[in-house]
Amino acid sequence: MREREIAIKERIILALDVEDIGAAKALVKKTEAAMGFYKVGLELFLAAGFPMVNWLVDRGHKVMLDLKFFDIPETVKRAVARLSGRGITFATVHGNDAILAAAIAARNEVKILAVTVLTSFGSSDLAAMGMTRSVADLVRFRAARALEMGCDGVVCSGLEADDLRRELGPGLILVTPGIRPGANRMAGGDDQNRILTPGEAVRRGADYLVVGRPISRADDPVAVIEAMQAEIYG
């Protein structure tokens, strides 16, 4: 199965999970020579809003807006429509068929990624929510529905990527959080449950890798990025 062609500087998406626009800009300036794709999540968007997105796009970078839209369909439709024309590459959406359909109807040039199961969730979390499916089964079910609905891709763990790629084909974009370099894979104090190294995730079929703390908290972030790129493309 042919692998999607992705530029080396765009394969890793750096999660700008920081407290304000100043810290985000400092991290971008420190890393942008080695990469060109950044994730703006809920914390940073609430602190900095679209000015942060505009600043990234103006510098020539791609943006994943990770707000995980989840609301009544009409609200989601109107919210997604407001992303058009801003240079945003990916936007994430949670929810059922009606919510996904609303986002897809309003997406214009923005690619819609359906969230399957958060990588911080394990089987005990699903059981506590009253769900009887296994994590893997729920991810496969939601990814298949997202593809049928017309989503451009899904957010999933690298642990599920190989099954999704094999069962759903090459068309669906797979964006994978929970990525940890080999030395940090089993480190404690982490809220991620379903994790893989960069090389493992790509070999399993992941297209884009979302990485946060292993880069943002490193003494030499660029060295970490380059080591991950070497593992992926080596």
**Interior CA angle at 112 toward 204 and 195, to 5°?**
30
Q: Is the separation of the CB atoms in 211 and 17 below 8 Å?
A: no
Q: Is the separation of the CB atoms in 180 and 224 below 8 Å?
A: no
Rounded to whole angstroms, how far apart are CA atoms 78 and 68?
14
62 is catalytic: no
**Tokens standing for 100?**
């996904």
Rounded to whole angstroms, how far apart are CA atoms 116 and 135?
9
Rounded to whole angstroms, how far apart are CA atoms 10 and 35?
6
Q: Catalytic pick from 9, 25, 30, 68? A: 68
How remote is the C-alpha of 38 from its chain's centroid?
A: 10
Rounded to whole angstroms, how far apart are CA atoms 39 and 45?
10
Active site residues: 68
